[in-house]
Amino acid sequence: MGAAGSSALARLGLSAPQPRPRWLGVAALGLAAVALGAVAWRRARPRRRRRLQQVGTVAELWIYPVKSCKGVSVKAAECTALGLRSGHLRDRFWLVIKEGGHMVTARQEPRLVLVSTTYEDDCLILRAPGMDQLVLPSKPRSSNKIHDCRVFGLDIQGRDCGDEAAQWFTNFLKTEACRLVQFEKNMKGRPSSEIFPSVDQKYQVAYPDCSPIMILSEASLADLNTRLEKKVKMDNFRPNIVVAGSNAFEEDTWGELFIGDVEMKKVLACPRCIMTTVDPDTGVISRKEPLETLKSYRLCDPSEKPIYQSSPLFGIYYSVEKIGSLKVGDPVYRMVQ
């Protein structure tokens, strides 16, 4: 056999044969050529496209402009790398802080959940029980101070929204002096590598807890309510996207999702805290339900305890892999191999 044939067989993991009749050598070379061709074809062939499987339908879309305040239900939204957007309403782009820059949420001030937000005539309108409405321009003055803030121990900036807004929140909460700040697109968000060091995805967020998008299904809420004496609302859990038509906790199994022309990738399950025990209608925190019931059946696998510790899981965090738009009624597809 010639050098070329020996080399070809060696690449296929075969040793060169001892001298045999000539026709056998020709046949061996032919087989080697066919085999090499098959290997080359397999390498050159494009990977099979992954299949899409519908798992539900978008039932609700929610934007929470001010962290811990009431959400705004929208019929359609842009899905940006930093979360949902509808016009000038951005998800968790406004934040109440103490004078020193530390965040104030409904965990500390549960009455924040009573503050509602609307957008009218290029202004943000905030309303709360017993208060005159607060009218804010969609963008604060560029001369306003930039604060160094702390959100869950991580540094992030925010532009001050003025003394009137600061006094309004201070008066409503009846607490120590507060300020309201707004995140601006040129500011650096909190990186995923510092929020979840064990997660591979690279993204940033403004003032959301952990990721740009949180998804929860109607069926999971219905399942929880079968176990509670006093039913809770979707408002207790503050998802951005509510999915109808799936089974309870089926969202635990979803990885990559396609909705509208948006692609999303699962980050982690959402670990729940006492925020879920704030009644969205009264602003009263119980510190008990539905958290205690969730802990009875929604704890993580022991292998995941370093991530979630003793927090029950309810809903899924997602990063945005491809920006686009989505609307209520859109099919929700998961990507399958």
| pLDDT of 190 strictly over 50 | yes
| pLDDT of 6 strictly over 50 | no
| pLDDT of 189 strictly over 50 | yes
- Average confidence (pLDDT) over 307-331: 98
Q: How many domains does the chain have?
A: 1
Q: What is the pLDDT of residue 9?
A: 30
Q: What is the pLDDT of residue 198?
A: 87
- Average confidence (pLDDT) over 174-179: 95
Tell me which residue of 237, 248, 244 sits closest to 317, measured CA to CA.
Answer: 237
CA-CA distance, 169 to 180, in Å (whole number)? 8
| pLDDT of 91 strictly over 70 | yes
CA-CA distance, 172 to 71, in Å (whole number)? 18
| pLDDT of 4 strictly over 70 | no
- Sorted by sequence, the CB contacts under 8 Å of residue 86 that are 6+ apart come out as 63, 72, 74, 76, 77, 78
- Average confidence (pLDDT) over 233-237: 98
Specify the range with the lowest mean pLDDT, choosing from 4-13, 56-65, 67-76, 205-214: 4-13
Tell whether 227 is covered by a domain.
yes
Quick one: residue 315, left, alpha or beta (phi over 0 = left, psi -120 to 50 = alpha)?
Answer: left
What percentage of the chain has pLDDT greater than the value 70? 85
- Average confidence (pLDDT) over 219-247: 98
| pLDDT of 146 strictly over 60 | yes
Q: What is the pLDDT of residue 200?
A: 87
Q: Which alpha helices (H) appear in 117-201, and where do they start and end?
A: 163-173, 192-195
Tell me which residue of 199, 97, 203, 197 sits closest to 151, measured CA to CA.
Answer: 97
- How much is the mean pLDDT over the chain? 89
Tell whether 23 is covered by a domain.
no
| pLDDT of 1 strictly over 80 | no
Tell whether 123 is covered by a domain.
yes
Tell whether 217 is covered by a domain.
yes
| pLDDT of 3 strictly over 90 | no
Q: What is the pLDDT of residue 48?
A: 53
Question: What does residue 164 show for φ and ψ, rounded to 5 degrees?
Answer: -60, -45
| pLDDT of 142 strictly over 60 | yes
Tell whether 7 is covered by a domain.
no
| pLDDT of 7 strictly over 60 | no
Q: 104 in helix, strand or coil?
A: strand
pTM listed for this prediction: 0.85
Tell me which residue of 89, 202, 211, 99 sits closest to 150, measured CA to CA.
Answer: 99
CATH number at residue 277: 2.40.33.20
Q: Give tens-digit pLDDT for 16-65.
A: 344 444 444 444 444 444 444 444 444 444 555 779 999 999 999 999 99
Domain region containing 212: 52-336
Give the H or E element holding residue 150: strand 146-151
| pLDDT of 181 strictly over 80 | yes
| pLDDT of 125 strictly over 80 | yes
| Torsion sign (Cα): 204, 314, 268, 85 | negative
pLDDT grade, residue 236 (50/70/90)?
very high
Tell me which residue of 271, 297, 274 sits closest to 285, measured CA to CA.
Answer: 274
| pLDDT of 8 strictly over 70 | no
Regarding predicted confidence, which is higher, 39 or 254? 254
- Sorted by sequence, the CB contacts under 8 Å of residue 26 that are 6+ apart come out as none
Q: Which residues pair with 241 in a beta bridge?
A: 61, 215
Q: Give tens-digit pLDDT for 263-311.
A: 999 999 999 999 999 999 999 999 999 999 999 999 999 999 999 999 9
Tell me which residue of 61, 82, 64, 84 sits closest to 243, measured CA to CA.
Answer: 61
CA-CA distance, 59 to 64, in Å (whole number)? 17
- Average confidence (pLDDT) over 152-177: 97
Q: To which residue do tokens 């089974």 refer?
A: 247
Tell whether 26 is covered by a domain.
no
Tell whether 19 is covered by a domain.
no
- Average confidence (pLDDT) over 246-264: 98
Tell whether 332 is covered by a domain.
yes
